[in-house]
Chains A and B, each alone.
Chain A
Amino acid sequence: MRLLFFILLGVALFLASNRVGELRQYQGSFVAMYSLAIASIILLTGYSGQLSLGHSALMAVGAYTGALSINSAHLNPVLALVLATLVAGLFGLILGFAVARLSGPYLAGTTLALAVSLPTLANQLPILGGEQGVVFDVGAPPARFGEGFSQYKWFFWITSLAALIMIWMIANLLSSRYGRTFRSIRDNQTAASLAGLNAGRLKVVAFAVSAGVAGLAGGLLVMLISGVSPSAFPLSLSFSLLTGAVVTGVYSLKGVMLGGLVLVAIPEVADSITTRIGGSEGFTATLPGFLVSALLIAAVMFAPNGPGQIFRKSNKQDNHTEGNK
């Protein structure tokens, strides 16, 4: 049933790709890529309850791996992306071990430290190309598609395919027994442990998978911007991903595409605002960040459990917290 949904979605995207212009195809690729990254956040935060601000760093790991495997190891692009996923996943596995015992703010702060410090590593190791970064060229679309096949449509196909496959797999994972165990860890770790679940191990698994997916998204991003450098993975990227996840409901995968759309739309919206009302250089530069943050706060205040909350009156059983007057 789910498979059918994804196949139909894929077909719909395929048809759409033939009708829209190059700009939209390019933007669509970003939507797909962001959706994938947001899915990794939902897996980690929404389902296993671990708040990570370090996904920009994880994406960077995948990105650099992908870039290097094409440039230095001359691997086939598909293989490069797979490698990006695996390396990022491995990194996430190690990181997950280190932070498995943490919760809430400690985890957030540690991942924050990671997000801030990892990109600087690029400046230390020459192979990573320092500030300028590494160029990544996924190559032109295969000849058999003909002359008129745009590079951007090719991007769109690749990212959408990767996103569809991965998100479908994640959806399966989350609705399986694993997903349920993740959620029980999130809701009440002590109870889950008492029920025999190895909370630590599950959290590490969630982290590794989430990291792998983020790594793949990083690899895709690098393909889209034809290069990787530390400045492509600032801390604000982590914030944006988190916002995308929270705004569209951090507990469910259903909103990922919406999240991706929001993230791509915000710069557009900011653009049209600034062209409409003009503004200083400071205004144009800071407006997207402002919008993202404002959106995040609004989401937390008014719809912390997802946008559906606005339309639903809370008549379900409360997790009543005593003494919260």
Chain B
Amino acid sequence: MSLVVENLTIDHGAIRAISNVSFTVPQGELAAIIGANGAGKTTLLRTLSGLKESKSGSATWNGKSILGKRAEDLARSGIMHVSDGKSVIAELTVKENLALAGLWRKDKKDVAKATDEVVELFPILGQRMSQAGGSLSGGERQMLAIGRALVARPNLLLLDEPSLGLAPLIIEQIFQTIKSLVKKMDLTVLLVEQNAMGALKIADEGIVLNLGSVVAVDSAQKLLNDPAVRAAYLGF
């Protein structure tokens, strides 16, 4: 099972947001997509999760095309998208938020088990079960969003800027958690980040996007050491 994207082109209104992008993420690996604001990273993710239509090109997961499908169908087939900042429904409680991804699943026992595992992973959620999602701090919200995705037992996780607006310590925590999840659950993760350093440190490979096009694809380690990448995205 790999995520294979080939010559994907996506328009956003009159703007060509993504143009002829190709990359592969092998199963069980963590790929980081880095690039400046406006590079089209979010648009790419939203297209892969079914929220947006593409113009041309292909994207397959496990050999099957994931383009042109409805978001809810993709979610049910194991592709979970955690979007930036807005992934928590403020008016619902933590418990209800977590329950969302399991609502359609028939195996309620496993849903309960998965929820317990998430609470084990993020104990703070267990303490806040009956509080409204909107009352959580930024870091807690991010944990809730990721936790909710995990309850569905995904095999492909699309993460959109999980570090946005969070304190460095929390960011570290979340990145480490993501890394360990990949190992433990044999998850495949596509991580979009502006925090290029943090992302590349935990990733297996990296994809650099600029203005909608791929400018570099390589192992994360090599990108970390690449002078051009360092200058442009890592700040040194």
Q: Do chains A and B touch in the complex (CB under 8 A)?
A: yes
Identify the A interface with B (CB < 8 A): 317-320, 322-323, 325
* The one of B14, B46, B50, B71 that contacts A322, using a Cβ cutoff of 8 Å: B46
| Known A318-B13, A320-B11, A325-B52; further 6 A-B contacts with Cβ < 8 A | A317-B14, A318-B14, A322-B12, A323-B51, A323-B52, A325-B53
B70 & A320 in contact (Cβ 8 Å cutoff) = no
* The one of B12, B46, B50 that contacts A320, using a Cβ cutoff of 8 Å: B12
Q: What are 22 A-B contacts with C-beta separation under 8 Å? A: A317-B13, A317-B14, A318-B13, A318-B14, A319-B13, A320-B11, A320-B12, A320-B13, A320-B14, A322-B12, A322-B46, A322-B51, A322-B52, A323-B46, A323-B51, A323-B52, A325-B50, A325-B51, A325-B52, A325-B53, A325-B70, A325-B71
- Chain B proximity of A275: nearest CB distance (Å): 51
Contacts of B12 in A (CB 8 A): 320, 322
Q: For residue A319, which residue of chain B has the nearest CB?
A: B13
Over the window 15-44 of chain B, the binary record of Cβ atoms lying under 8 Å from chain A Cβ atoms (1 yes, 0 no) is: 000000000000000000000000000000
Q: For residue A316, which residue of chain B has the nearest CB?
A: B14
Contacts of B50 in A (CB 8 A): 325
A325 to B11, alpha carbons, bound, how many Å? Answer: 15
Identify the B interface with A (CB < 8 A): 11-14, 46, 50-53, 70-71
Q: For residue A320, which residue of chain B has the nearest CB?
A: B13
A325 to B47, alpha carbons, bound, how many Å? Answer: 11
Contacts of A320 in B (CB 8 A): 11-14
A318 to B53, alpha carbons, bound, how many Å? Answer: 15
- Chain B proximity of A321: nearest CB distance (Å): 9
A322 to B12, alpha carbons, bound, how many Å? Answer: 8
- Chain B proximity of A161: nearest CB distance (Å): 46
A15 to B103, alpha carbons, bound, how many Å? Answer: 72
A317 to B13, alpha carbons, bound, how many Å? Answer: 7
For B14, B50, B71, the residue with the greatest tally of chain A CB atoms inside 10 Å of its CB is: B14
Contacts of B70 in A (CB 8 A): 325
- Chain A proximity of B43: nearest CB distance (Å): 9
A319 to B46, alpha carbons, bound, how many Å? Answer: 18
A318 to B14, alpha carbons, bound, how many Å? Answer: 7
A319 to B13, alpha carbons, bound, how many Å? Answer: 7
Contacts of A325 in B (CB 8 A): 50-53, 70-71
Contacts of A317 in B (CB 8 A): 13-14
- Chain B proximity of A238: nearest CB distance (Å): 35
Contacts of A323 in B (CB 8 A): 46, 51-52
A318 to B12, alpha carbons, bound, how many Å? Answer: 10
- Chain B proximity of A110: nearest CB distance (Å): 26
- Chain B proximity of A21: nearest CB distance (Å): 54
A275 to B88, alpha carbons, bound, how many Å? Answer: 62
- Chain A proximity of B192: nearest CB distance (Å): 16
A10 to B91, alpha carbons, bound, how many Å? Answer: 60
Contacts of B52 in A (CB 8 A): 322-323, 325
Q: For residue B13, which residue of chain A has the nearest CB?
A: A320
Contacts of B13 in A (CB 8 A): 317-320
Contacts of B11 in A (CB 8 A): 320
A320 to B12, alpha carbons, bound, how many Å? Answer: 7
- Chain B proximity of A314: nearest CB distance (Å): 13
For A317, A318, A319, A325, the residue with the greatest tally of chain B CB atoms inside 10 Å of its CB is: A325
Contacts of A319 in B (CB 8 A): 13
- Chain A proximity of B121: nearest CB distance (Å): 29
Contacts of A322 in B (CB 8 A): 12, 46, 51-52
Contacts of B71 in A (CB 8 A): 325
A319 to B14, alpha carbons, bound, how many Å? Answer: 9
- Chain B proximity of A325: nearest CB distance (Å): 6
Q: For residue B12, which residue of chain A has the nearest CB?
A: A320
A325 to B67, alpha carbons, bound, how many Å? Answer: 12
Nearest first, the 6 A-B pairs at minimum CB distance are: A320-B13, A323-B51, A317-B14, A318-B13, A322-B52, A323-B52
A323 to B49, alpha carbons, bound, how many Å? Answer: 11
A322 to B50, alpha carbons, bound, how many Å? Answer: 11
Q: For residue B71, which residue of chain A has the nearest CB?
A: A325
A320 to B43, alpha carbons, bound, how many Å? Answer: 13
A317 to B46, alpha carbons, bound, how many Å? Answer: 22
Q: For residue B50, which residue of chain A has the nearest CB?
A: A325
Contacts of B51 in A (CB 8 A): 322-323, 325
- Chain A proximity of B23: nearest CB distance (Å): 23
A63 to B52, alpha carbons, bound, how many Å? Answer: 52
A317 to B209, alpha carbons, bound, how many Å? Answer: 26
Q: For residue B51, which residue of chain A has the nearest CB?
A: A323
A253 to B139, alpha carbons, bound, how many Å? Answer: 54
Q: For residue B43, which residue of chain A has the nearest CB?
A: A322
- Chain A proximity of B88: nearest CB distance (Å): 18
